[in-house]
Amino acid sequence: MIYEPSVSAAVIFFVFVGITLGISFWLGRKATDAKGYFAAHGQIPWFVNGVAFAGDYLSAASFLGICGMIAFYGYDGFLYSIGYLAGWIVALFVIAEPMKRLGKFTFADALDAKFQSPGIKLAAGISTLAVSVFYLIPQMVGAGVLVQPLLGFPHWAGVVIVGVTVIMIVVTAGMVSTTWVQFIKGTLLVIFSAILTVMILNRGFSVATDEQTGLQTIAFPDGVPEGWTRFVDEEDKWPNFIRFKDESSRIRVFTQYDQDTDQGRKTWLLEAQYTSTDKDGTVFVNGEPKGKEKGEPELHPVGHIRKLPGGADKTGPLGPLSFFSTLLESEVVLWGSEKINESDDKTTTVYFQKPTPGSQVLRPGEHPKFKGIRGKDFIGKLNFLSLMLALFCGTASLPHILIRYYTVKDAAAARKSTIVGIGSIGFFYVLTLYMGLGAMTSGGMDVTNSNMAAPLLARSMSELLFAAISAIAFTTVLGTVSGLILASAGAVTHDLMSSFFKIEMDDHQKVRVAKLSSVVVGAIAIGLGILFEGMNVSYLVGWAFSVAASANLPSLIMILFWKGVTKQGVITAVVVGMVSSLGWILCSADSMEKIFGMTASDALVPFGQPGIVTIPLGFITLVVVSLLTKKPEPAVVA
């Protein structure tokens, strides 16, 4: 698709970022000591902290990734919503109050409260860094994705803008400004998502005509226009498609679709879209050189309904429940893609229509990553269980969420803010299903990029809403990234520098070290964000959750509930959980393909999501090592 940068969008966007930075500078004057910088003096009101939880947690992955996944595959994306929210139950019921009681600045404090061991600080500090950096990747990728259509900048520019802005927020005022940025962002995200949902319901569904989609539907064989000839090359590399040369000699590609109707079986040809790049790098779209401006050849925006219940053309406004019952009986066009190597230096990607019954769109197991649950193969089922387990356990182990327990005054406030957090996050997740399905049927999707679904849905409503949603999505990235960078900076300053290397620092030096490490972590995040362009951000976040849950959860839980834990047990469990889950991810089929450029069959592990193996492994390690090292000599030094 060609994205036309819009002036109103750019203006709203910069106003947003400007205000956010302004608040940050203004509030930052107060935070000069360590307690203020890392924990906002523990003075954040619980309600604000609760909404800030939502702002912290509802990252680019939630907003862009989940909506995109629902828009392209249906219900499966919503499984992430359910898992992400369920994780908060672990956080509230099990972790929240002990965390608040035991710690001061970082979650390593809580782990270490009983042992005072520099080794635990080191392990927990490194795991905080690993999880945060991992979690930063999808956020930065999301930022790049957003800036492209909004301002017309390339992906890397988006990543750099976010990186630099966030570094400025974190460096100026630490936790105080970060909290307020997250509060503003959380509020806006929930409110605007609700507005968008109401608009979706008001618009209802309508069947798209060929004029609207820009794609031809032909009754086969009688409806083929005169002057068109079948086009077949000698070695047929297009076995799944039917191709014609039209009256202007342009190659048109179709897929065949058979449908049983009251009048017997009917065959339709549905037009596909294709892009190819030849050896001198010219990009062709549907057989013509790709244009640069609106109106010139480009891929048509997609996402439409083919049939509504009772053969209606449109439904009119729908209720929150009839929205689903109507869709369940409709037929939606999803899109598949296939790569065809036409010659050594010419590859073509074909995007083709897949008419899908609504009942199939709204059931689990349609996304390639979730297909396993419909198969007979147990490995596919395990992969799914593993992901759902990691989502459940991951939230309560995310360092940037855990540090938010130190910004309120007591355990009661920590609890209340978690409840507010669950309320706003849960409400937002309910809306993701409406937004995703609304996007699926909006006629405005970019067939090449699922991460853009939510902003493009807004654009199908109005340009102004598009600007607002994009700006919010962008501050979404800012809020989450600030939290992550702050968590990393806290880990470096408290856990590594002052606890492990025993560097004596006064408050001002601590804050300076934290600011310096924020810059470094920010720079690393910028680099990784550019490197990982093009992966669905939700899937990447699934990995971050796995690492967090494997490394941190076993120790957090066991320290709370088992008296026999030893410091060696904690250290080994954190290290083993972190290394095994990271290692598993790097050896998985997805990494082989998308990072190392090898084929999926080179994978060393049977499925992609490590959680179901590495989380229990963390627990077992902790118990075994603790038993082995029980009652150590009092004089032993770690």
The least CB distance from residue 586 to another protein, in Å, is 26
The least CB distance from residue 194 to another protein, in Å, is 15
Query: Which residue in 313, 410, 506, 602 binds another protein (CB under 8 A)?
Result: 410
Q: Which residue in the block uniquely carries the two structure tokens 């956080």?
A: 91
Q: Judged by CB under 8 A, which stretch of 82-90, 260-268, 452-460, 623-631 contacts another protein?
A: 82-90
Question: Does 104 help bind another protein (rule: CB under 8 A)?
Answer: yes
Site string for another protein, 417-456 (x = CB under 8 A): -xx--xx--x--xx--x-----------------------
What whole-number distance in Å separates Cα of residue 376 and Cα of residue 248?
A: 49
Question: Does 407 help bind another protein (rule: CB under 8 A)?
Answer: no
- Compare residues 59 and 418 and give the one whose CB is closer to another protein: 418
Question: Does 94 help bind another protein (rule: CB under 8 A)?
Answer: yes
- Compare residues 94 and 638 and give the one whose CB is closer to another protein: 94
Query: How are strands ordered across the β-sheet holding 331-343?
Result: 288-289, 283-285, 273-277, 346-357, 331-343, 304-307
The least CB distance from residue 304 to another protein, in Å, is 22
What whole-number distance in Å separates Cα of residue 589 and Cα of residue 477?
A: 28
The least CB distance from residue 405 to another protein, in Å, is 11
Question: Does 240 help bind another protein (rule: CB under 8 A)?
Answer: no
Strands 264-271 and 217-219: antiparallel
- Compare residues 63 and 392 and give the one whose CB is closer to another protein: 392
Using an 8 Å Cβ cutoff, are 136 and 484 in contact? yes
CA–CA distance from 546 to each of 113, 132, 294, 300, 585 (Å)? 25, 12, 43, 37, 9
Question: Does 53 help bind another protein (rule: CB under 8 A)?
Answer: no
Q: What's 91's DSSP letter?
A: I
Q: Could you tell me which residues come within 8 angstroms of residue 418 by beta carbon, excluding any fewer than 6 positions away?
A: 50, 53, 88, 91, 92, 96
The least CB distance from residue 96 to another protein, in Å, is 8
Query: Which residue in 210, 313, 329, 342 binds another protein (CB under 8 A)?
Result: 329
635, amino acid identity: A
- Judged by CB under 8 A, the chain residues 285 through 324 that form the site for another protein are 321, 324
The least CB distance from residue 422 to another protein, in Å, is 5
CA–CA distance from 473 to each of 189, 288, 385 (Å)? 8, 34, 30
Orientation angle between helical segments 155-203 and 411-440, nearest 10 degrees: 80
The least CB distance from residue 542 to another protein, in Å, is 14
Question: Does 341 help bind another protein (rule: CB under 8 A)?
Answer: no
Number of CB atoms found within 10 A of residue 86's CB = 14
Query: What is the CA angle 542-546-548, rounded to 5?
Result: 115
Question: Does 58 help bind another protein (rule: CB under 8 A)?
Answer: no
- Compare residues 409 and 512 and give the one whose CB is closer to another protein: 409
Query: Which residue in 328, 340, 586, 605 binds another protein (CB under 8 A)?
Result: 328
- Compare residues 396 and 465 and give the one whose CB is closer to another protein: 396
Question: Does 93 help bind another protein (rule: CB under 8 A)?
Answer: yes
Q: Does the CA dihedral 205-206-211-215 come out positive or negative?
A: positive
Question: Does 88 help bind another protein (rule: CB under 8 A)?
Answer: yes
Site string for another protein, 345-384 (x = CB under 8 A): --------------x--xxxx-------xx------x--x
The least CB distance from residue 411 to another protein, in Å, is 4
The least CB distance from residue 611 to another protein, in Å, is 12
The torsion region of residue 500 among left (phi > 0), alpha (psi -120 to 50) and beta comes to alpha
Burial 329-343 (b: 16+ CB within 10 A, else e): ebbbbbbeeeebeee
Residue 367 sits at φ, ψ, to 5 deg, of: -70, 145
- Compare residues 300 and 369 and give the one whose CB is closer to another protein: 369
Using an 8 Å Cβ cutoff, are 488 and 201 in contact? no
Q: Please count the CA atoms within 13 angstroms of the CA of 162 that sit on its side-chain side.
A: 39
Question: Does 75 help bind another protein (rule: CB under 8 A)?
Answer: yes
- The three-class DSSP label of residue 23 is helix
Applying CB under 8 A, the residues found at the interface with another protein are: 75, 78-79, 81-82, 85-86, 88-90, 92-94, 97-98, 100-101, 104, 321, 324-325, 328-329, 359, 362-365, 373-374, 381, 384-385, 388-389, 392, 410-412, 415-416, 418-419, 422-423, 426, 429-430, 433
